Amino acid sequence: MAFFQEFKSFFPELIGNYHAKLALILNLIDQKCGGVLLIGKRGVGKSLLLKLFKKFLNLFNLSYIEIPLNVTEENLIGGIDIEKTLEKGIKVYQEGLLEKAKNSYVLIEEINLLPTEYLSLIFQTSYNYTIIATMNPEEGSISPHFLDKMGMCVYMERIDNFEDYSDLLRLWGNYRVLDEFYLENYEKLYRYVSFVKACRSNIGYEDTIWDYIVEVCLKNMVSTHRAEIFLFFAARAFAAMKGEGMIKPEHVNFVAPLVLLHRKREIEEKPKPQNKEEENQQNLQKNQNLQKEPPKNPPSKGKDSKPEREKEEKELSDLKEVEIVFPSIPKEEVFELGEVFKPKRIFLRKDRIARTTSGRRTKSKTLLKGGRFIRSVMFSKDKDVDLFGTIKTAAPFQKLRGRKDKLVIYKEDIRYKEKENKIGHLVVFVTDGSGSMAANQRMIATKGAIMSLLMDCYQKRDKVAMILFRKFKAEVVLPPTSSVELAHKKLKDLPTGGNTPLSAGLLEAYKLIKKYHLKFPKDRILLVVITDGKANIPIKFYADPLKEVQNISQEIKNLPYIETIVVDTEVKSEFLRMDLAKDLAQWLSATYIPLEDLKAESLTNLIIQKKESQF
């Protein structure tokens, strides 16, 4: 009990979030724990905790490096020191941030906003530094490949109880003694960490602890083998914190949530059928079995007896009186718009094509005058000279060129700026308007989702187009346009009813994209297919509808500069679920999103499991 009271007093400026504090202290004790990623929404204290950690490092002269979001490749890996190069006449190398961070700590705020190329440099170097980073999942995801290289991951939550709020206000209200109290607290933490560090190497373990660690990882469906290594070092550091001489299974259990949270594989559980549906299924199975069984008393081949003949005649007369009801042809309906919500952010991969368009969605190389500088290059179409890069290239040769006062620059020294800027996309909505969308009023929710995406397209300066497929054909109800008002009007009047010609809808999208690329060959396309995938009408007579969908999907997948999202509108709570939209997403190599997970609150990029506090 004394241990936990002592531990709770560390980082007093932040109330609660003891798992995050524990993860930081474990990495102070042993850098082999692999670093910490603090995940949470705005206002939960990620930046504050990182600031407190930096304050602790400053107080006791522990080395660290901060990597800002506007860092360049040259800042990371190093480059030429111009002043010394001009002075000595030879290339003088200047070390980068990553080399300066050797065997120390690297602090990164909002790591998910760094370009993928820079993250690759940060995680691939071998300078043995420990990364302490923060991330807001609402502002973008991070590749699972990079996520796996982080030793620990903690989900931070808001303060949601009265006692913690009161403690926080009392603490900040007594401002006169704050500085003295904090300094005393940090000195105590430094002595504590220094003592535990000295004892760390004396912690022993039995060989069976490795078997237990592997068992824990297998039980939690961990997808990689880094988990076992990080879990061992975390358990060793925790055993040292508690002042025990051996690593025990309870130490492994205590730190396992920190190490395994971001490594668990998601297992989809199918909904269990309700009781009535189970009974119906059992009755159906019994009837099928009864039909397969031969009759016990087969009728004789001779003449029927009189009572049996009278019985059959009576049954026939009863059948004649029965009124046969045929299913009516489904009527067309126009559903209203559903709830408009903030959709989850759609992040698309970057490419290396230089474009002249602008927007707010995806980063791309640009030929426009504006944009963010990336690197110096020898050739560029826009001829925007990089003065700094040019001087840097010419600097080592000034003595050879007989420089006296002014720099001697040759034509081959000239370097140009390579820049990137955000661009917009053409977003093509291919919407299912068949009768199945009327079931459970799914079209209301679908229209609300489309309207939400249209608002997102307006904010990102995208063009939009809309294709509706129903009955026996597909039609372009909205050609490519930048007018969200027009798109809203068309969406509001979309009818529902009839069959599902999914292949016709995909073919119409293929034609529209091909035609658009003739005019704008380098523009990027985002295809959003909103359907349950239950295709039942082919383009050609007597063809297999699903086979047609598969063939057209292959052609769409081969189009340049295109990415696809499949929004599944099927009701997953029903007993009968076909999951045909998943097959469609696989054929299109698309991102699969159920309609319910399209909201920003559904963080599908990271399955966050909230755990009860163990303190």
pTM: 0.62
The CATH H-level superfamily of 426-598 is von Willebrand factor, type A domain (3.40.50.410)
Interhelix angle 442-459/484-492, nearest 10 degrees: 180
Please check whether the two domains, 2-200 and 426-598, share a CATH topology: yes
Q: Two tokens at 19?
A: 């798992």
Sheet with 64-66, side-by-side order of all strands:
64-66, 105-108, 130-135, 36-39, 152-155
The CATH H-level superfamily of 2-200 is P-loop containing nucleotide triphosphate hydrolases (3.40.50.300)
Give me the half-sphere count of Cα atoms (radius 13 Å) on the Cβ side of residue 30.
24
Question: Which of 92-101, 256-265, 275-284 has the lowest average pLDDT?
Answer: 275-284
CA distances (Å), origin 433, targets 191, 437, 501, 552: 68, 6, 9, 19
Beta bridge partners of 155: 39
| Whether residue 612 has pLDDT greater than 50 | no
Interhelix angle 46-59/178-200, nearest 10 degrees: 80
**Contact indicator for 524, 425 with CB cutoff of 8 Å:** yes
Question: Which of 451-460, 469-478, 512-521, 526-535 has the lowest average pLDDT?
Answer: 451-460
Structure-model confidence comparison of residues 597 and 603, the more confident one: 597
**Contact indicator for 68, 106 with CB cutoff of 8 Å:** no
Q: What is the 3-state secondary structure (H, E, C) of 25-87?
A: HHHHHCHHHCCEEEECCCCCCHHHHHHHHHHHHHHCCCCEEECCCCCCHHHHHCEECHHHHHH
Backbone angles phi, psi at 352, to 5 degrees: -110, 25
User: Nearest Cα to 106, choosing from 80, 82, 77, 128?
Assistant: 128
| Interatomic CA distance for residues 266 and 482, integer angstroms | 38
Q: Two tokens at 510?
A: 């293929």
| Interatomic CA distance for residues 594 and 531, integer angstroms | 10
Please give the helix or strand (H or E) that residue 105 lies within, else none.
strand 105-108
| Whether residue 284 has pLDDT greater than 80 | no
**Strands (DSSP E) along 383-495, which ranges?**
416-423, 426-432, 463-470, 473-481
User: Nearest Cα to 442, choosing from 500, 487, 483, 485?
Assistant: 500
Predicted local confidence at residue 265, as pLDDT: 62
Query: If phi over 0 gives left and psi between -120 and 50 gives alpha, with beta otherwise, what is residue 535?
Result: beta
| Interatomic CA distance for residues 251 and 254, integer angstroms | 5
**Contact indicator for 530, 446 with CB cutoff of 8 Å:** yes
**Contact indicator for 410, 393 with CB cutoff of 8 Å:** no
Q: Two tokens at 214?
A: 């592997």
Question: Which of 206-215, 321-330, 415-424 has the lowest average pLDDT?
Answer: 321-330
| Whether residue 66 has pLDDT greater than 90 | yes
User: Nearest Cα to 529, choosing from 383, 431, 398, 417?
Assistant: 431
Domain regions of the chain by residue span: 2-200, 369-422, 426-598
| Whether residue 5 has pLDDT greater than 70 | no
Rounded average pLDDT over 403-432: 88
